[in-house]
């Protein structure tokens, strides 16, 4: 699941001052403005922030989705996203 979907799934609006976004940023130890830019795809999270986001979302937002250029494809057996499109 991507970051914006995670925020919305948890009751957030995805806007810059959304309380869910602010709380997630606090838990991940980054600014909510930075997290907002990452969620919209205007900025890329660094190695440590990606790992932190994966931890604070309990794996719902994975390092493999946020930065496949660093972490590669998910390992075999890793929880995959399921598309509603069929």
Cβ contacts of 7 within 8 Å, gap of 6 or more = 13, 14, 18, 20, 21, 24, 39
11: left (phi over 0), alpha (psi -120 to 50) or beta: left
Q: Please check whether residue 22 lies inside any domain of the structure.
A: yes
In this structure, is residue 49 part of a structural domain? yes
Question: What's the predicted TM-score (pTM) here?
Answer: 0.81
75 occurs within a structural domain: no
- CATH code at 47? 1.10.260
Each residue of 24-64: pLDDT tens digit?
A: 999 999 999 999 999 999 999 999 999 999 999 999 999 99
Q: Domain residues for 36? A: 3-66
Number of structural domains in the chain? 1
Is a pLDDT exceeding 60 seen at residue 4? yes
């Amino acid at each position: 699941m991507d970051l914006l979907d995670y925020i919305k799934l948890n009751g957030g609006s995805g806007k810059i001052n959304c309380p869910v976004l602010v709380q997630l940023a606090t838990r991940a130890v980054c600014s909510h403005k930075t997290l907002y830019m990452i969620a919209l795809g205007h900025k890329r999270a660094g190695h440590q922030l990606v790992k932190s986001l994966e931890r604070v979302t309990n794996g719902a937002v994975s390092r493999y989705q946020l930065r496949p250029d660093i972490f590669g494809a998910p390992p075999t057996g890793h929880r995959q996203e399921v598309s509603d499109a069929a």
